[in-house]
Amino acid sequence: MWDNPRLLNLAAALAAALAAAILGYAALHALARSPLFPLRELHVTGTLAHTTRAEIERAAAGFGGNFFAADLAELRARLERLPWVRRVELRRAWPDRVEARLEEHVALARWGEQGLISARGELFPGRLGAEQAARLPLLAGPPGTEAEVVRRYLRFAEILRPLGEAPERVILTQRHAWQLRTGGGLQLELGRDRGEPVERRLERFVAAYPATLGRLAQAEPREPRVVDLRYPNGFALRVPEWRS
């Protein structure tokens, strides 16, 4: 080997590359632990309707250190634990700043007693004032059905629009039966998706409404309060004021 110049040159090149790698690693390690280049600012952007600067500052309290070594994953996790924050994007901005873009949840409805839910079907622990919360519809269902309940709610709202009604309450029971109440106080028992989606029953009800309940509402001041749509070719109604 010692009399082979080619192998000697190759060994020398490998030794030099290894030494350079060790020196580079040591330099980066020293730079990461250096008191130089400290972080001095957290710059926050995004349209924030519910998350305050004070909440952000409390979540980021104690975060800092070296520009190169700061743990952005930890900061992201802290900020995403704030009740209204859905997603956080972070980037380092030379020489001493971290830029954070926050995206908030947009509340579609209340979800049982557990907080709020977005149109994406994502539960989050945001809180609203009593008056604001009362203006939101109420949705509920078994665990794991959040996205499905939101999807059905949006479809029910679309079907009811010709009547000038909107769902105020949509419940999926433990037996996977659908119950709906409109803002006008009409309660609809839709039942389960057996043989056909419950949306078909609701569509038939809306189509029949002008010639049936619509006329009845005009002729009588008493309005039907509960409509049972769990029939293949019709529906039944219960009027509490009518007693036999």
Q: Please give, one letter per residue, the 3-state secondary structure of 24-90.
A: HHHHHHHHHCCCCCECCEEEEECCCCCCCHHHHHHHCCCCCCECCCCCHHHHHHHHHCCCCEEEEEE
For residue range 196-234, what is the model confidence (pLDDT) as tens digits? 899 999 999 999 888 877 666 665 655 557 899 988 777
For residue range 154-202, what is the model confidence (pLDDT) as tens digits? 999 999 999 999 999 999 999 999 999 999 889 999 999 988 899 999 9
Report the C-alpha gap between 151 and 60 in whole angstroms.
Answer: 36
Burial group, residue 149, by CB count within 10 angstroms (0-12, 13-18, 19+): buried
Show Cβ contacts of residue 64 under 8 Å, excluding neighbours closer than 6 positions.
Answer: 38, 39, 70
Show Cβ contacts of residue 68 under 8 Å, excluding neighbours closer than 6 positions.
Answer: 31, 32, 37
For residue range 39-60, what is the model confidence (pLDDT) as tens digits? 889 999 999 999 999 999 999 9
For residue range 68-116, what is the model confidence (pLDDT) as tens digits? 888 999 999 999 999 999 999 999 999 899 999 999 999 999 998 879 9
Question: What pLDDT does residue 24 have?
Answer: 44
Report the C-alpha gap between 172 and 142 in whole angstroms.
Answer: 7
Report the C-alpha gap between 217 and 199 in whole angstroms.
Answer: 23
Question: What pLDDT does residue 6 have?
Answer: 64
Residue 231 vs residues 41, 95, 114, 181: alpha-carbon distances, Å: 64, 69, 33, 18
Report the C-alpha gap between 96 and 92 in whole angstroms.
Answer: 8
Element (DSSP H or E) covering residue 123: strand 123-124
- Whether the Cβ atoms of residue 125 and residue 171 lie closer than 8 Å to each other: no
- Whether the Cβ atoms of residue 205 and residue 159 lie closer than 8 Å to each other: no
